[in-house]
Chains A and B, each alone.
Chain A
Amino acid sequence: MKKRKLFSLVMTVVLCAPMFIGALPALANFNETGYPIVDEPITLEMMARRSPIQPVWDDMGFFQEMEKLPNIQFKFRTAAGTDYTQAKQLALASMDLPDLFYGGELTANEEADFGAQGILIPLEGLIDKYAPNFKKLIEENPEIKASITAPDGHIYALPGIDQNITSKTPIMWLNGKWLEALGADKPQTMDEFYELLKAFKEKNPGNVEEVIPLTAANAAELRLGLLANFGLVQQDGIYVDDNGKVQLAWTQPEFKEYLKYMNRLYDEQLLDNQMFSHTWEQFVAKGKQVGVLSTWPIVMVGFHDVTEAMHYPVLPPMTSATNPQKLTVEMSEIKRGRAAITSKNKYPEATMRWIDYAYSEEGTILARLGIEGKTFVWNEDGQWVLLADEGLSTTQTNAKHAPGVGTNVPMVLTREFFEKEGGNPTILAIYEWILEDLIPYAKLPFPLVYFTEDEIDVINMYKMDIDTFFQQMEAKFITGAESIDGGWDKYVKTLKGIGLDDYLEAHQSAYNRWAKAQ
């Protein structure tokens, strides 16, 4: 009898034990301060957009370091370019979630939409308790908090701060050696720009096999660099005009002028005819043949000696028939949507602590510069100097261990940080160029707003079709497959037919809300 009772008691305990073990909250494994962050190692799945120049993240020094001390292992789900956009879409829309997004490129709409659905968890509570670095950051800069808080009052994603001058505006570069060989000045108007491209092609100052005066990785990159010159400063097609009214750039007469100009360039082979079909790798391989580059020269031309960059001045904003003043797009310092925690995550507190490290100075350095001794060193003047591995450029080497090169991970990149770069007078010179040529003309097209759930529904319904259609037509107009004069009216009419008015209305109400709060 007794044995039986004992037996059933033991069985009860044994059977109930899993209940208790499972109930052992993640918090028991968690340390609020100090390292390691968790006593028992845990594994989190991270989703991120990596860049083609990076190795797999398992091999990156940043993660190897960031796994050791905190005692957290990571499983990586990464993809590059549009593959990532699709993967992210899929993950969010199908609830096949990672534990966190880090360098996740979440749009404001995704934040608000999926935050409201509970797929991304609210972070303000966690920030308050477990993110001392980030908390300090927003206390010192209250406008950050306002910019990352969704309409329902919650914060769903953490931003990065990038005060780097080179991140403030789009930049295109000129092949300086060619410019010199021609004895030409930097163009100030679109007409001069056209003449310059023509001269590149006809005179072949670089003596290359085939001159490609102008190219870009894709049409979007081209647009980013040059549309502003026609008077349109927009972000994702949206901008606010001088009357406070929200407009779509793609139906404006200035856009028509842009298309006409590009079509002319395309026709005359001044614009790379393969721009719409080449892969990123094919694009980069053309580096040495290009007169005007849309990506950092070091990536496209691949020089090992950083000072080579001095030969690539930046392309200044230019005026045109539709645009008497020099303009370029200003991009906010606050880069939203870099890190978020999903509802699948069982260790949000530990995750927040882990993420928070990036907002400290050491954390940012680790994320952006990599490993001391391997990718950078401090010199006697307290500056940081990038190293270059055998046969590789500094950017290439840097990318091996620092995810911040190529991916927008959470970082606080202040002006001071960049001024501390040593051993690279070239980049300081480039900063000067940008300060002089581009910054004064930068204009913010649309503020950092958030949309309500209803507005997001409307936007989701139309954005895909609007974007797809306008991109398709843009390609056709520029390549000449469709005549601009003949097809423009029909094009605008079709866009209007895709619910353009509702689409703009949604943006307008969000903008009005933001304007009132100022």
Chain B
Amino acid sequence: MLIKLKGVDYKVSDQTMARAVKPKRFNWRRIKINWQLYLLLAPAIIYFAVFKYYPLYGLQIAFKNFKASQGIWGSQWVGLRHFTRFFNSYYFWDLIRNTILINLYGLVLFPLSVIVALSLNELRDGPFKKAAQTITYAPHFISTVVLVGMIIAFLDPSKGIVNNFLGMFGIAPISFMTEPRWFKSIYVWSGQWQNLGWNAIIYLAALAGVDPQLHESAKIDGATRLQRIWHINIPSILPTIVILLILSMGSMLSIGFEKILLMQNPLNLDSSQVIQTYVYEAGLLHGQYAYSTAIGLFNSVANLIILLFFNRIARRTGTSLW
């Protein structure tokens, strides 16, 4: 690598370069060369500092009796009072249960995207494949509001297509949106409809990286398509699958909050109230800033722990996030 320093050309080995990047030796020269890169980085750094790191400072109200007029600093400490209140509340386990169940339900269905990707991959390239692909990720571009609007319209007890259809078989109309037992299924399956195709893209991309030689040799050995998929394709994309799985574990306690919020109504709350929506309700609707921040903090920490836990497990299998 050729580096220009003070008008002289230096040839530097890659190892030296790597060492130079480590912050241990504070190399002013490097920084001077780099100052322009930092300039390019500046907007992003400012953004993250202001909008992501500064609010961490506001997190402390989770431990205070926050009063707006006293500000974050002036409000007095009350330690873990908010957390105790949350853990002892009558709804604590309901929230945890709903949150985890909705997540697990969705997680269980993740193989569907993989299957779709595997399936699309087996199509011969051509207009059919292209069209199929394009159509399957169309729903991804529909907004959450429209999606939930569609759900509500389709499931309407008197005017919706689903109940009309059921009516043809003499089944009495079901008020899907107001009965708690349907909520999770509606949430998860509509999510699949919307994201199946889109999620498949990543797997498709990974599949594109599978060495065709492997397939050739397998074909010669007489392996059927299915066998080839099972023994070649899936193992090849296993790392990708694991990574994505871990990532979704990481958001286990804070999923799809905006969509749930739209689908909630007073009658299905039993099944639809999750931790994040409760944070919104307690905080922005009831003005209990400190209390809801405490719950949100609990949520984030729990997320992190789950993430670390699963990452550690995954590491045993060879792939992990870091």
Secondary structure class of chain A's binding surface, majority of residues: helix
Contact of B90 among A94, A118, A498 (CB under 8 A): A498
Within 8 A of B (CB), among A449-499: 457, 460-461, 464-465, 469, 472, 475, 494, 497-498
Q: How far is the CB of A420 from chain B (nearest CB, A)?
A: 42
Q: How far is the CA of A220 from the CA of B110 in the complex (A)?
A: 43
Which of chain A's residues have a CB closer than 8 A to the CB of B282?
464
Closest to A462 in B: B85
Q: Do residues B265 and A95 form an inter-chain contact, with CB atoms below 8 A?
A: no
| Stretch of A71-79, A85-93, A143-151 at the chain-chain interface | A85-93
Which of chain A's residues have a CB closer than 8 A to the CB of B266?
276-277, 472, 475
Which of chain B's residues have a CB closer than 8 A to the CB of A118?
69
Q: Contact size class for B?
A: 20 to 34
Closest to A457 in B: B65
Q: Contact size class for A?
A: 20 to 34
Which of chain B's residues have a CB closer than 8 A to the CB of A464?
282, 286, 288
Which of chain A's residues have a CB closer than 8 A to the CB of B285?
86, 89
Q: How far is the CA of A118 from the CA of B68 in the complex (A)?
A: 10
Q: How far is the CA of A156 from the CA of B112 in the complex (A)?
A: 60
Q: B281-292 CB contact bits vs A (8 Å, 1 = yes)?
A: 010111111000
Q: Do residues B67 and A117 form an inter-chain contact, with CB atoms below 8 A?
A: yes
Contact of B68 among A93, A469, A475, A497 (CB under 8 A): A93
Which of chain B's residues have a CB closer than 8 A to the CB of A461?
85
Q: How far is the CB of B76 from chain A (nearest CB, A)?
A: 11
Within 8 A of A (CB), among B257-293: 265-267, 269-270, 282, 284-289
Q: How far is the CA of A347 from the CA of B285 in the complex (A)?
A: 30
Q: Does B178 contact A (CB under 8 A)?
A: yes
Q: Do residues A119 and B267 form an inter-chain contact, with CB atoms below 8 A?
A: no
Closest to A499 in B: B85
Q: Does B89 contact A (CB under 8 A)?
A: yes
Q: How far is the CA of A114 from the CA of B287 in the complex (A)?
A: 13
A90-B287 in contact given A119-B68, A277-B267 (Cβ < 8 Å): yes
Within 8 A of B (CB), among A75-112: 86, 89-90, 92-95
Q: How far is the CA of A259 from the CA of B150 in the complex (A)?
A: 35
A93-B287 in contact given A277-B178, A464-B282 (Cβ < 8 Å): yes
Which of chain A's residues have a CB closer than 8 A to the CB of B88?
497
Secondary structure class of chain B's binding surface, majority of residues: loop
Q: Do residues B286 and A89 form an inter-chain contact, with CB atoms below 8 A?
A: yes
Q: Do residues A117 and B68 form an inter-chain contact, with CB atoms below 8 A?
A: yes
Q: Do residues A95 and B287 form an inter-chain contact, with CB atoms below 8 A?
A: no
Which of chain A's residues have a CB closer than 8 A to the CB of B65?
457
Contact of A472 among B69, B85, B269 (CB under 8 A): B269
Q: Do residues B265 and A277 form an inter-chain contact, with CB atoms below 8 A?
A: yes
Which of chain A's residues have a CB closer than 8 A to the CB of B70?
117
Q: How far is the CB of A106 from chain B (nearest CB, A)?
A: 13
Q: Do residues A475 and B69 form an inter-chain contact, with CB atoms below 8 A?
A: no
Closest to B291 in A: A461
Q: How far is the CB of B106 from chain A (nearest CB, A)?
A: 26
Q: How far is the CB of B154 from chain A (nearest CB, A)?
A: 17
Q: How far is the CB of B5 from chain A (nearest CB, A)?
A: 48
Closest to B67 in A: A117
Q: Do residues A498 and B89 form an inter-chain contact, with CB atoms below 8 A?
A: yes
Q: How far is the CB of B313 from chain A (nearest CB, A)?
A: 37
Q: How far is the CA of A89 from the CA of B284 in the complex (A)?
A: 8
Q: How far is the CA of A464 from the CA of B282 in the complex (A)?
A: 8
Q: How far is the CA of A114 from the CA of B70 in the complex (A)?
A: 11
Which of chain A's residues have a CB closer than 8 A to the CB of B267?
276-277, 475
Q: How far is the CA of A472 from the CA of B271 in the complex (A)?
A: 13
Which of chain B's residues have a CB closer than 8 A to the CB of A94?
68, 287, 289
Q: Do residues A90 and B178 form an inter-chain contact, with CB atoms below 8 A?
A: no
Q: Do residues B69 and A117 form an inter-chain contact, with CB atoms below 8 A?
A: yes
Q: How far is the CA of A497 from the CA of B285 in the complex (A)?
A: 23
Q: How far is the CA of A497 from the CA of B88 in the complex (A)?
A: 9
Q: How far is the CA of A460 from the CA of B287 in the complex (A)?
A: 10
Max chain A Cβ within 10 angstroms of own Cβ: one of B89, B178, B287, B289 = B287
Which of chain B's residues have a CB closer than 8 A to the CB of A86?
284-285
Contact of A119 among B69, B85, B270, B287 (CB under 8 A): B69
Q: How far is the CA of A86 from the CA of B267 in the complex (A)?
A: 20
User: Which residues on A are within 8 Å of B, measured CB to CB?
Assistant: 86, 89-90, 92-95, 114, 117-119, 276-277, 457, 460-461, 464-465, 469, 472, 475, 494, 497-498
Given A465-B90, A469-B90, 10 additional A-B pairs, CB 8 A: A89-B286, A93-B68, A93-B289, A94-B68, A94-B289, A119-B68, A277-B178, A277-B266, A464-B282, A472-B266
A-B contact pairs, 29 of them (CB 8 A): A86-B285, A89-B284, A89-B286, A90-B284, A90-B287, A94-B68, A94-B287, A94-B289, A95-B69, A117-B67, A117-B68, A117-B70, A276-B266, A277-B178, A277-B265, A277-B267, A457-B65, A460-B288, A461-B85, A465-B91, A469-B90, A469-B91, A472-B266, A472-B269, A475-B266, A475-B267, A494-B90, A497-B88, A497-B90
Q: Which 4 A-B pairs have the closest CB atoms?
A: A93-B287, A117-B69, A89-B287, A95-B68
